[in-house]
Amino acid sequence: MINGKKVVVVMPAYNAEKTLEQTYNEIPFDIVDDVILVNDASKDHTVTEAERIGIKHIITHEKNKGYGGNQKSCYNKALELNADIVVMLHPDYQYTPKLILAMCSIIANDLYPVVFGSRILGKGALKGGMPMYKFIANRILTLTQNILMNQKLSEYHTGYRSFSKEVLLKVNYEANNDDFVFDNEMVAQIFDAGFEIGEVTCPTKYFDDASSINLKRSIQYGIGVLGVSFGYFFKQLGLYNSSIYKHKH
């Protein structure tokens, strides 16, 4: 707990056997109360490894539901466990668990209800091995999104995110896409609901066992991201609406 608030770490896992233990061992258990791993029909021994290192809450999808579908299971279970703060941590060790304390402190002290670990705020992305084409695409997409959404985030595409319970109870993440564009739909929902997003500088690591999407999927993702951003822009003008913006409460 931190400031009397229950902290739950959720790990959306797909073939994370090789990096899971290293990631798990760096989680700050002095403040983290529970860890949830959602195994999205992995083809390796992710579940066996999760059980071996002592993760209590393990959910397995018999069929692969996609990155967004995985997160839906993560957040539903975290709310079921009465989490006050939920941190999404990828089990591929691309993002350091050592930032969990900083991210949770910001939420627990009511500074921001959502905090992202940004690979772009510092020089972490390129230094950590982000491919140049991904870095350029990230910058162009983020600039476009900031203009369309009237925001100033340094990065929309990080997978390191923490949320207060209030945000997860309000935004209708269940209505989102089950693939990678889920993340950006959730950003649009958060801003549409009137919440703000804080950011902390996050070093990152690109290596063979860290999950990443290929060029074709990256292009599809980019098109999806622009679709979400234009949709948000037109919604603010009263010219468009979507089921993703129907708040739960």
Distance of alpha carbon 79 from alpha carbon 72, whole angstroms: 11
Q: For the chain, list residues with pLDDT below 70.
A: 123-125, 206-213, 249
Domain architecture of the chain: domains with CATH: 7-241 (3.90.550.10)
Distance of alpha carbon 208 from alpha carbon 212, whole angstroms: 9
Residue 244: φ, ψ to 5°:
-65, -20
> What pLDDT does residue 216 have?
81
> What pLDDT does residue 84 have?
98
CB 162 within 8 A of CB 243: no
> What pLDDT does residue 244 have?
94
- The pair of structure tokens assigned to 41 is 């029909």
CB atoms within 10 A of CB 135: 14
CA distances from 153 to 5, 119, 121 (A): 26, 12, 9
The H or E element containing residue 108 is helix 100-108
CB 100 within 8 A of CB 32: yes
**CB hemisphere CA count around 195 (13 angstroms):** 25
pTM greater than 0.85 (yes/no): yes
> What pLDDT does residue 213 have?
61
> What pLDDT does residue 131 have?
77
> What pLDDT does residue 35 have?
98
